[in-house]
Structure formats: C-alpha cells, structure tokens
Amino acid sequence: MWRLDDQRALVVTTDFFTPVVDDAYDYGAIAAANSLSDVYAMGGQPFLALNIAALPPDLPPEILTEIIRGGGEKALEAGVVIVGGHTVQDKEPKFGLVAIGFVDPGRMITKGGARPGDRLVLTKPLGFGVVTTALKREVVEPQDLAEAVGWMKRLNQGAAELANSFDVRGGTDVTGYSLLGHGLEMARSSRVGLRIEYDKIPFLNCARKYAEQWTFPGGAADNRLYFQSQVRFDARLDEAAQMLLFDPQTSGGLLLAVSPQKRATMIDWAWATQRTAWEIGEVVEGNGIQVV
C-alpha cells in the first residue's frame, strides 16, 4: 500500500499460478479473480491490471486465447482495465495479474484490525483444494467440479463492498494458507485469539466426500505441519474434518472481523443483496485458534 494523500492510497499486488482446472477459459477467469482478491481484501477497488503469463510455445493458439479471454472478461466484470502485460515461454502454463487499486487509508481493512468481541464472518465456502485435486486424480464428478469452479470465479468485490458498508477494519482473504493459516495471520497481527465453530463453517456440498477420499493437495499437509501447533481442535473432530480447515483455497472468500452490534444486520443485508456471508466464530482474548 502506498499512500498518495489523506484520502487515497494505492494497493499494488500480483499473483499467478499453474492451471487448477482443465477448461482454459475458467482457468483464466479464476486466476484473474484470485489476483484481484488482494485488493478487495484491503477494502479497495481495483482499476488497472497487467497480464503475467508463462505459456508453452506448443500450446494450441485457441487455448492461449481462451486463457487470456477468461482473465480479460473477469477483469471487465470487475471494472478493471487490462493495459498490457508480459509473456514468456515455459513448459507449464502460468497466468495471473498485477492488480492496482485505490483504498481510503482511513477505512482500510488490515489483518491487524480484529478486536476481542468481533464476530468472524466468511464470504465463500471451503473445499476448493480437495475438489481440484480430485480433478487432477481423475475422480471428480462433473457437478462437483462445476460447484467449485462457480465459487472460484466469483469476485470478492461484493464482499469488499459489504465490509466497507459496515465499517469492517479487520480481515483477510482465504487462499493458499487455508482458513486456519490466514486466520492465524490475522490473530497474530491483531494480538488476539480466534474461536471457530466447526458446524457453522460453510463447505462445498461435496467437500466432505473428497476429504474422506483424501484428495487433499500437498499444500494441505504443509499447512498442517506449519500451523497445527497453534490450533486446538475439539476431540470430536476427525482427521478429515480437521484437514478441511488446512485445505488450500484458490480464489477463496474474505474472513472478516465484524463488530457484534453490526453482525446480524450485515449478514441479513448480504443475503438480501445476493451476496453470501456466514458467521463462523468470534475474536477472543489470547492467541492461536480454538476449533469447537
């Protein structure tokens, strides 16, 4: 974030990755939505972007075109202009954006903005990692993949607008470090603890099925290894349930710390305006995360 004056700051971010789905258009759209998410996670509005692409020279032109078109149309949906970019050759496709946006420094959402008593609100369900890995292992069912792709393509624009409308100051997006990893980042930055109620967490309809088939990506095991010492699980939660909270998310939702006075109105307004929001716990005194 680079402050321009008292009312405006620039948010500059970048992200790109290898394909998470087979459809080239969907891959481009997901990569773009994911890249723009970091601006939304700070309560900002992106307005400008650059393509970043590493593409195999032997990939058919129609596939390359669909990747770029998917990213371009998702940026257009967000009101973002892609003004150029850079492409190099590589053995495996990689695509994403440099995203630039504006944010009001006095209303910015940060990981250090959570306070004891705040309620935790999540704006997308979990389970993207187990589904995309099931795709790679060729065991995914078409309707399950469609459900995950629909959520991953969804912009966090509405979630950021929701947060700004209710003066949310603490939050982060949930991506590769999982709900627990990004939650711990917020807890540490805010010098608080988090208490999460497992039964209130939204999951994809198929998430538990693939968790039981153990289609977790390698990043889930890495997340558990790195973060598990700071997490206390209810003894009734089995290993599959626990691992779903370490599951890396691609283009996941926002995790927001909302004041208790505004929580109910915010969630009601979210659903009334075709947005999604689920209360999943609270911010407490202490440190680490307790999952009950």
Encode pLDDT of 167-193 as tens digits: 999 999 999 999 999 999 999 999 999
pLDDT attached to residue 192: 98
Encode pLDDT of 124-142 as tens digits: 999 999 999 999 999 999 9
> What is each CA distance from 169 to 24, 109, 114, 150, in whole angstroms?
36, 4, 7, 28
Amino acid identity, position 177: Y
Q: How does DSSP assign 138-199, residue by residue?
A: T---HHHHHHHHHHHTS-SHHHHHHHHHTT--EEEE--TTHHHHHHHHHHHHHT-EEEE-GG
Pairing of strands 81-89, 45-55: parallel
pLDDT attached to residue 63: 95
Sheet (strand 231-233) strand order: 170-173, 254-258, 119-122, 278-284, 193-196, 289-291, 231-233
Confidence band for 162, pLDDT divided at 50, 70 and 90? very high
Question: Region 158-162: what's the mean pLDDT?
Answer: 96
On average, the pLDDT of the chain sits at: 97
Q: Which two tokens stand for residue 243?
A: 């691992």
Question: Region 40-52: what's the mean pLDDT?
Answer: 97
**Structural domains of the chain ordered from first start:** 2-106 (3.30.1330.10), 109-291 (3.90.650.10)
**For residues 198 and 238, what is the distance between their CA atoms, to the nearest angstrom?**
12
pLDDT attached to residue 108: 95
pLDDT attached to residue 87: 94
Phi, psi of 275 (to 5 degrees): -105, 175
Amino acid identity, position 171: G
Using alpha carbons only, give the angle 75, 79, 82 rounded to the nearest 5 degrees.
45
The SS3 call for residue 16 is strand
Encode pLDDT of 79-121 as tens digits: 999 999 999 999 999 999 999 999 999 999 999 999 999 999 9
